[in-house]
Amino acid sequence: MKPDLKYRLPVRSDVAECQYHRPPTPSELRFGHGATHYRTFPLEACCWPGMRIKKQWFVAADDGLRYYR
C-alpha cells in the first residue's frame, strides 16, 4: 500500500544526501553506547522510488536497522 504523499514537499534539487537517526539497539546499550545514532544517506535510499519525497522511516540495506527522519 502506497502512503498518501499529497501534502508532502519534495527535497530541494540541490540536496544530494539527507540525515536520519535511530535509537540505540539493546546490545549497544549493554556496551555503553546509549546515544542516538545519526547517519547520512543518499536520496535514492531514503526517498520513494522515482520521487524526491523522503520516507518517514526506512530499513537500511547494509545493517538492517530502522532509521527515522
Asked if residue 8 belongs to a domain, the reply is no
Asked if residue 52 belongs to a domain, the reply is yes
pTM more than 0.85:
no
C-alpha cell at 30: 549493554
User: What mean pLDDT, rounded, does the chain reach?
Assistant: 91
Instruction: Please state, in angstroms and rounded to a whole number, the distance separating the CA atoms of residues 17 and 19.
Output: 7
Cα torsion for 57, 45, 2, 9, to the nearest 10°? Answer: 80
20-53 pLDDT, tens digit each: 999 999 999 999 999 999 999 999 999 998 889 9
Range of the domain at 29: 17-68
Asked if residue 3 belongs to a domain, the reply is no
Asked if residue 4 belongs to a domain, the reply is no
Cα-Cα-Cα-Cα dihedral sign, residues 53, 59, 63, 68: positive
**What pLDDT is stored for residue 1 in this prediction?**
67
